[in-house]
Amino acid sequence: MTKEQPPATFYVNAALFDCDGTLVNSTGAISEFWRNFAETRPHFDAEEVIRTSHGCRTFDVIKKWSPEDAIEEQVTQWEGDIPDSYGHHARAIPGAVELVKQFDGYSKETHDGEQKWAIVTSGTLPLATKWLKLLTIEKPDTFITAEKVTKGKPHPQGYLNARENLGYGANHAKVVVFEDAPAGIQAGKDAGALVVGICSTYNPEKVRDAGADIVVKDLTGVRIESYNKETQEFKIVVDSYYYSNI
């Protein structure tokens, strides 16, 4: 359980969310996909892939472990079918839908009324779109999926592109990334963001050691307290957490 301690507070101009493991707990669904994939490929170690590849693009994983299957159109189709075939294993991360909808609601009250949040996922557009539908989250204007980058996480390209799209690409602008996987945490840090690490997939120590600035069980204890139009900053309060260096 998280420690009893004073709430942590920080200020940001915008928020960037990963999807799998951050908004939706899709580990069970993805794991079943990999196990099914391995049934006809004796060389493919599904359990090792499950253990080591969370947060990476499916195409990159298949290219590494089963290169003969690394055909983009086919991989996109396989991935897009995951929610249909294995979606009963998926669940919303507690507090995730509420927090995203808070950012969306507050965005309408900002200085320009534009969205101040985005999704940056290693999943393909068909996969991520279906997860959002399951979560009842409207697709954001800035929606960076696997097809929109040439370098997947842990490379920061996706998060850097999202910052630019939202108008907060400058180093002095403050952006928060919500992530669960070491690859995504590294990408967020390398994009110059503060990172909230979520323990949906890994234990608190691993999430902290990956570089997260604050480590939480889920998103139920994270909330927007206010928005300042003059500074263009959200005041974010984290009521419960494992570790924090902010």
- Per-residue pLDDT tens for 39-58? 999 999 999 999 998 888 99
Of 75-89, 136-150, 186-200, minimum mean pLDDT range: 75-89
Q: 86: which DSSP letter?
A: H
Active-site residues, by number, are 18, 20
CB atoms closer than 10 angstroms to residue 223: 16
Architecture in CATH for domain 8-25+90-244:
3-Layer(aba) Sandwich (3.40)
* CA angle 27–219–159, rounded 5-degree value: 75
The full set of domain ranges for the chain reads 8-25+90-244, 27-89
pLDDT band at 172 (very low <50, low <70, confident <90, very high): confident
How confident is the model over 7-30, as a mean pLDDT? 95
Return the pLDDT at 53.
87
Average pLDDT for the chain: 94
pLDDT for residue 165 is more than 90: yes
Whole-number Å distance between alpha carbons of 146 and 62: 14
Whole-number Å distance between alpha carbons of 119 and 113: 18
> Quick one: which H or E segment has residue 35?
helix 27-38
Whole-number Å distance between alpha carbons of 38 and 137: 32
Comparing CA positions, the residue from 221, 210, 212 lying closest to residue 4 is 221
Contacts of 206 (CB under 8 A, 6+ apart): 182
CATH topology of domain 27-89: DNA polymerase; domain 1 (1.10.150)
